[in-house]
Amino acid sequence: MQLRGAVAVVTGANRGLGRALARGLVRRGARVYGGARRPDSIVDPGVVPVKLDVTSALDVAAAAASCGDVTLLVNNAGFAAFTPLLEAPSMDNARREMETNYFGVLAMCRAFAPVLARNGGGAIVNILSVVSWFNAPMQGSYCASKAAALSLTDGIRHELRGQGTRVTGVHAGYIDTDMAAGIPGEKSSPDAVATAVLDGVEAGVDEVLADKRAHDVRSALLRDPHGMDGAMRKLWEMRGK
């Protein structure tokens, strides 16, 4: 897909990876709508603010109605509580993760699929994670929501093929954003991940492995589909020590 002249909507465009994606699209010659709960938090030149909470049916419908020229939908908005499935004090975090990371993505795809069809097909990009492929128990409910989003991505790819809409799933490890601020260890640059994503969109691929962590995990799982289990079990057993 040629990004010069494209019209994109990016969810969660006010910070982190979403902001890097929106700015990268502008640099490549796209017109960009930036979605955020608070549109006044969208401050980058060339990015048109749109009030958009992906968990709000009213916001999603309004965005699809007002952004009728879109040819590229980037589902970036996400939420992570980094809590386990059973040891979390309640299911509130799990529900919010699923509402944002799965149902929010599904709502945006349902709303914008007809828009993309009217505009020639275009493309959808879903920002997933390496934990779409395995479960890290310290953040078990987040992993479950991203696994659901991966399955969603595969499903809509089949459904939208007939209207000519390309669907791309993006996998990355921890990215140096507010979401991962409290997590130690190596993190990828938002700008570097955004560049990999946009290169993938222009190349027309179905899947983008956006950083070294994604490539390493994919290689490990190809060698052994259960190869992550031992490391995850050890991390769980060492929690709090």
pLDDT computed for residue 89 by the predictor = 96
pLDDT computed for residue 61 by the predictor = 98
pLDDT computed for residue 235 by the predictor = 86
Q: How far apart are CA 117 and CA 166, in angstroms?
A: 11
pLDDT computed for residue 186 by the predictor = 82
Q: Nearest CA to 72 among 168, 195, 205?
A: 168
Hey, what CATH topology would domain 7-237 get? Rossmann fold (3.40.50)
CA dihedral sign, ordered 41, 43, 165, 119: positive
All structural domains of the chain with their residue ranges: 7-237
pLDDT computed for residue 177 by the predictor = 79
Q: How far apart are CA 187 and CA 95, in angstroms?
A: 26
Sheet containing 7-11, strands listed edge to edge, beginning at the edge strand earlier in sequence: 47-51, 31-36, 7-11, 72-75, 123-127, 166-171, 207-209
Q: What is the CA radius of gyration of the chain?
A: 17
Q: Nearest CA to 140 among 74, 78, 73, 94?
A: 94
pLDDT beneath 50: ranges in the chain: none
Dig out the tokens for 105 from the structure: 């993505």
The predicted model scores a pTM of 0.94
Tell me, letter by letter, the H, E, C secondary structure of 205-234: CCEEECCHHHHHHHHHHHHCCCCCHHHHHH
Element (H, E) at 74: strand 72-75
Dig out the tokens for 132 from the structure: 């779409």
Q: Nearest CA to 129 among 53, 193, 37, 34?
A: 193
Dig out the tokens for 180 from the structure: 């991962």
pLDDT computed for residue 46 by the predictor = 96
User: Residue type for 27, please?
Assistant: R
* Size of the chain, expressed as the number of residues it contains: 241
Q: 73: which DSSP letter?
A: E
pLDDT computed for residue 182 by the predictor = 67
The pLDDT tens digits of the residues spanning 193-237 come to 999 999 999 999 999 999 999 999 999 999 999 989 988 998 899
Residue 59: count of CB within 10 angstroms of its CB: 18
